[in-house]
Amino acid sequence: MTNPQKFIAPYTELKRSLRNAFISYLDDDNDADVRISSENATSKNAKRFINSFPSTLPMPEICIEEDGEVSFDWMNGKGRHVSVSVGPGPYLRYAALINGDSYHARELLTENFSSTIHLYISKILPK
């Protein structure tokens, strides 16, 4: 029988990281025009992205950008980086740098984790 905690823990840890990033952002003296709360569209979209996150991938670093978007970053040394940005709109944006080749696009944010983003993250993981 599979341990359900094994699958629940990544989501819990990601949500905790997201909450801590929000708190850190709010504690900094950021631009008063940028409002971040757990109830705004960016926060809801970030949680939606987290809920789609497959347990087979390593957890990203999470930060709040100066424009108020949430950034999810996977890094593995120089020249190996995938970044996904989630904002208030219906799209997420991603960029990948893999051994000198760069890729970027936007996709509709859905309940399913993007197969393209999954592929790029898989390419930067250690073999």
Looking at residue 116, its pLDDT comes to: 96
Please state the pTM of the whole predicted model: 0.78
Whether residue 9 is predicted with pLDDT greater than 80 in this model: the reply is no
Looking at residue 63, its pLDDT comes to: 85
Looking at residue 65, its pLDDT comes to: 86
Whether residue 83 is predicted with pLDDT greater than 80 in this model: the reply is yes
Question: What is the rounded average pLDDT of the residues 100-104?
Answer: 95
Q: How confident is the model at residue 3 (pLDDT cuts 50, 70, 90)?
A: very low
Q: Give the 3-state secondary structure of the chain.
A: CCCHHHHHHHHHHHHHHHHHHHHHHHHCCCCCCCCCCCCCHHHHHHHHHHHHCCCCCCCCEEEECCCCCEEEEEECCCCEEEEEEECCCCEEEEEEEECCEEEEEEEECCCCCCHHHHHHHHHHCCC
